Structure 1
Amino acid sequence: MRSLHTLRLTALVTVAPLVLAVAGLLHPRHLTAATAGHWAALHIALLPVFPFLVLGLLIPLRHRPRRDAEGMLTLLSWAGCLCFAAYYSGLDAVAGISAGTVVDHGVHGAAGPLFATGDELGRTGVYGLAVASLATCSLLWRRHGARVLPGSAVLFLCCWSFVDSHIFWPKGVLTMLGFAVAFALLTAAAFRPAENPRCRKCR
């Protein structure tokens, strides 16, 4: 029963990065008059998907924050996830939907400033995701020890790559697949039965 529950949670935390990886294969490499319509439409479709990337950090935490160090880490993770959801959605709206729309309507000169603004929003969002990742992994380390290290290592590598990769092929697609692997590893570590009495409260 526990393994089935973990499998369901693993599917839940990996669906967003896997959808984004597939979308990255369909993402135009460059914004041109020929690709502008597809560019805008794809980002409209992905607008509700990017925020769900943070499920891979929130689900392994499970518990409400307490008034101790773990509670502070939980709140820091939530704040970082909120930062990512807000600011990366801004990138999607500005450099994706808006830039694609103006180029599709022949206003080519506006795309550059929109990309510049979108890049700033996106970087801020990824920095928030990195902070949330550090807080989540620190908390999981306190609860579960070294078994969270593989997922944490993959996660930090993906955050570093995500700063400038978006979901473009090949780097962005590989980054999204890496997030899926990291979230699956962290979920498996967090929901595996505790190996010593000290961690039983964390199950």
Structure 2
Amino acid sequence: MRLPAAVAATALPALALAVLGSSHPAVLTPESAPWWRDLHIIGLVLFPLLALGPWAVVRAARPAGVLGRVLEGLAIVLGLVYAAFYGALDALAGIGGGHETMRVGPGPWVAALFEIADALGIRGAYAYLAATLLAAVLALVAAPGPWRVLAGVGALFAVVGAWSFLTSHIYWPFGVATMVMLGIGHTAMASAATRRRAAGRHGPAVAAAGHRVASP
């Protein structure tokens, strides 16, 4: 994966969710319900795209051969699990909760709806954490030389962000900070991992050129 594509995949969804989360209502009320619902309709598109972050890192950092394909497949499966289960939270507590509050007002049904939404969403968040841990390990292994420092910093940001995501959603301020950390972390790891690819492409050519120059 080329660096511009990796940066777009890792940075843009997380930053878009950070912007969206900056206006997330703190509490669902009849007054906040319209934007609560509409915000999560937008989130139906943006939240699944967050899975591109770990996948882009794994894609850039994976080893060659069957093992690399298996690891990338695992990242894709974890991303699908995250998107499905976290999407259920978004639809139930976000769209459903907001719409029903607009129509029938607050009531005991809100707690019941949020209960099942949270039970599903946490499974998706744990899948995202697992994908991020996989990406962090591969990036640290793959990054060459001094680029491993960037991979390490990115891994710290991304793993802490993925852990925070278990409870923070995108609420201001912690959820917004979580999205920023995920964007920074995965982008840093992808940037470091793609250097391995670049070094692999140019290394033999540089070595061959040096040999030709040295030959009489």
Same fold (TM over 0.5): yes
Match of 2:17 among 20, 26, 36: 20
Give 1:83 deviation, angstroms. Answer: 0.9
Identical-residue share of aligned pairs (%) = 32
Query: What is the rounded CA distance, in whole Å, between the counterparts of 2:91 and 2:197 in structure 1?
Result: 43
Give 1:117 deviation, angstroms. Answer: 1.0
Q: Does 1:44 align with 2:47?
A: no
Match of 1:72 in 2: 70
Whether the aligned pair in 1 keeps the contact of 2:58 and 2:71 (CA below 8 Å) is: no
Query: What is the rounded CA distance, in whole Å, between the counterparts of 2:199 and 2:13 in structure 1?
Result: 33
> Rg: which structure is higher?
2
Unaligned segments of structure 1, at least 5 residues = none
Match of 1:83 in 2: 81
Unaligned segments of structure 2, at least 5 residues = 205-216
Could you say what the CA RMSD is over the residues aligned between the two structures, in angstroms?
2.6
Match of 2:210 in 1: none
TM-score (norm 2): 0.82
Whether the aligned pair in 1 keeps the contact of 2:142 and 2:196 (CA below 8 Å) is: no
1:74-121 per-residue CA deviation (whole Å, 9 max, x = no partner) reads: 222222111111111111001100111111112422111111111111
Which is worse superposed, 17-26 or 101-110?
Answer: 101-110
How many corresponding residue pairs? 197
Cα distance, 1:124–1:12 mapped onto 2, change above 3 Å: same
**Secondary structure of the residue that 1:28 maps to in structure 2?**
coil
**Secondary structure of the residue that 1:22 maps to in structure 2?**
helix
Match of 2:164, as an amino acid?
S
Which is worse superposed, 96-105 or 147-156?
Answer: 147-156
Q: Does 1:162 align with 2:168?
A: no
Q: Does 1:179 align with 2:182?
A: yes
Give 1:144 deviation, angstroms. Answer: 2.2
- List aligned pairs for 1:9-158, cutoff 5 A: 9-62=6-59, 66-68=65-67, 70-108=68-106, 109-144=108-143, 146-147=148-149, 148-158=151-161
Give 1:191 deviation, angstroms. Answer: 1.4
**Secondary structure of the residue that 2:45 maps to in structure 1?**
coil
Whether the aligned pair in 2 keeps the contact of 1:102 and 1:110 (CA below 8 Å) is: no
Match of 1:143, as an amino acid?
A
Match of 2:192 in 1: 189
Whether the aligned pair in 2 keeps the contact of 1:10 and 1:188 (CA below 8 Å) is: yes
